[in-house]
Amino acid sequence: MSKVVNIEKAMNFVTDSSVIMIGGFLGIGTPENLIDAVVGSGLKKLTIIANDTSFPDRGIGKLVVSRQVSKVIVSHVGTNPETGRQMHAEELLVELVPQGTLAERIRSGGAGLGGVLTPTGVGTVVADGKPVIVVDDRQFLLEKPLRADIAFIKAEVADTEGNLVFRRSARNFNPVMATGADIVIAEVNLIVPVGALDPDEVMLPGIFVDYIVKE
């Protein structure tokens, strides 16, 4: 059965206070049309899990500017002055997570793990409140898994069963986020029939993807 839907159908899964993972790295590999639909919906109090809050006029940055977000879990906010302003005004909660730790927390959430032990952040403020576990004389932080209600991801090509091919550095967080959310919606540039993709070239198995929207 084809997973291709229109964007209005995809929006039915998002509500006020939804936790949403959004792929992309400074806006590269971000599903812009899905984000524009969320902006148009007026939904509020969203939690966004993403690498960064992009720029004010691009990607996740637009959701911050439209004041629909109450919390972000990200590794970097420096390219979006509005994120910084809302953070300092205590209008937006910002949880900063080292980028590799963010990737592994999402992977843990998607892979059924109870978290990950990482040396990153030991001896820094990132370690505050987290268990330090010694393995073979080296200290690691226990970082807990992250999951989301919905993941919005971006790919170059999908077949109608949701098998995905990503392009260049637009891949970034997209594949791992597809493993860590209850509903996964992929925005793609091109949709091809089942069988058009060689199984060896599929970068994310379609079993992770619930719905496909075309850019």
Partner 1 sequence: MDNRELIARRVAKEFKTGDLVNLGIGIPTLAANYLPDNVKVILHSENGFVGLGPVNGLEDPDLTNAGGKPAGIAQGGAIFDSTMSFAIIRGGHLSSTVLGALEVDQEGNLANWMVPGKMVPGMGGAMDLVVGAKKVIVAMEHVGKGGAHKILKKCSLPLTACKEVDLIITDYCVFDVTSKGLVLTEKAPNVSLQQIRESTTADYLISPGIKEMVV
Alpha-carbon separation of residue 22 from 30, 90, 149 (angstroms): 7, 23, 11
Task: Specify the residue, 2 or 124, whose C-beta has the smaller distance to partner 1.
Answer: 124
Complex with partner 1: residue 3 or 107, whichever CB lies closer: 107
CA 62/CA 97 separation, integer angstroms: 21
Q: State how far the alpha carbon of 136 is from the alpha carbons of 52, 117, 132, in Å.
A: 34, 13, 13
Residue from 44, 67, 144, 167 touching partner 1 (CB under 8 A): that is: 167
The string of DSSP codes covering 79-146 is T-HHHHHHHHTTSSEEEE--HHHHHHHHHHHHHT-S-EEESTTTTSGGGTTS-EEEETTEEEEEE---
Residues 72, 93: contact at Cβ < 8 Å?
yes
Q: Answer yes or no whether residue 18 interacts with partner 1 by CB under 8 A.
A: no
Given the rule CB under 8 A, which of 61-69, 113-121, 143-151, 206-214 is the region that contacts partner 1? 113-121
| HSE toward the beta carbon, residue 63, CA cutoff 13 A | 33
Per-residue string for binding with partner 1, 116-155, x by CB under 8 A? Answer: --xxxxxxxxx-----------------------------
Which DSSP state fits 31? Answer: -
- Minimum distance from CB of 172 to partner 1 (Å)? 5
Q: Is 173 in the site for partner 1 (CB under 8 A)?
A: yes
What is the enclosing helix (H) or strand (E) of 17?
Answer: none
Which residues between 70 and 99 bind partner 1 (CB under 8 A)? 74-79, 84, 87-88, 94, 96, 98-99
Tokens 């990503």, residue? 166
Residues 26-45 that bind partner 1 (CB under 8 A): 26-29
The one segment of 21-29, 145-153, 191-199, 207-215 that binds partner 1 by CB under 8 A: 21-29
* Closest CB 201 distance from partner 1, rounded Å: 13
In the set 89, 168, 200, 201, which binds partner 1 (CB under 8 A)?
168
| 192 touches partner 1 (CB under 8 A) | no
**172 token code pair:** 């970034």
For residues 29 and 145, which CB has a smaller minimum distance to partner 1 in the complex?
29
Side by side, the strands of the sheet bearing 132-135 are 116-118, 138-143, 132-135
Contacting residues toward partner 1, per CB under 8 A: 25-29, 51-52, 74-79, 84, 87-88, 94, 96, 98-101, 103-104, 107, 118-126, 156, 166-176
